[in-house]
Amino acid sequence: MGVRVVVVDDHRLLAEALASALKLRGHRVLAATAPSAGAAELVISRAPEVCLLGTSTPAEPGVFEPVVRIKRERPQIAVVVLGPVPSPRGIAAAFAAGASGYVRQDERIEGVERALAKARAGEPAIAPGLLQGAFAELLNPAAQPDDEGSRLLRLLTPREVEVLVRVAEGEDTRLIAAGMAIAPSTARTHVQRVLMKLGVGSRLEAAALAARTGLLDRAAPPRGAGEA
């Protein structure tokens, strides 16, 4: 089943070429455009399932402001960033803004399609190695955890803390369930409770919040503590 998508890229020709390729593969492209003052408004007004946002400068300050606005006004729209071989901080900035994933610009069209499908399903759309590097960058150098991190940590049970650590390491529901020796449905319930308690809408937002506030530094139980 095709994905309803809006394609935004730094270069209009690239946006249009990618849009054409996706159309040929059965996806419904609602618009293809280059970033401008109205890019976020266009995405919000067309209400796609996924916005594919291409950028050549993912680490540049302010580049993901459209993502912040899209997620604030239309949180149901998933945003997947299409960028160069990234710096971890660029990926972290995309996640912190609310993006659902990151795909390298040299990825094959099949990889882009897989990312779109995952994002539409509410799953992280990124290679585990890139995700781990992004959060390692956020955590290093480790700053003193702030009061907000302590407050958030007190909201979670020990079981939920372990789930959050695993989410931050890029594990999906299947891996969380296997690692904690619980059913996938139970793992999914734990994840949803963590999201609710932290007041965020996605796993990536939860991981970014935990890293930003120092919560993970305080949590970090020995791996395997919840696997007995």
Is there a contact between 124 and 172 (Cβ–Cβ < 8 Å)?
yes
Look up the pTM and report it.
0.59
| Single-letter amino acid code for the residue at 105 | Q
Is there a contact between 54 and 9 (Cβ–Cβ < 8 Å)?
yes
Helix, strand, or coil here: 125? strand
Choice between 164 and 90, residue whose per-residue pLDDT is larger = 164
Q: Please write the tens of the pLDDT for every residue from 148-202.
A: 777 788 888 889 989 988 888 888 899 999 999 999 999 999 999 999 888 888 8
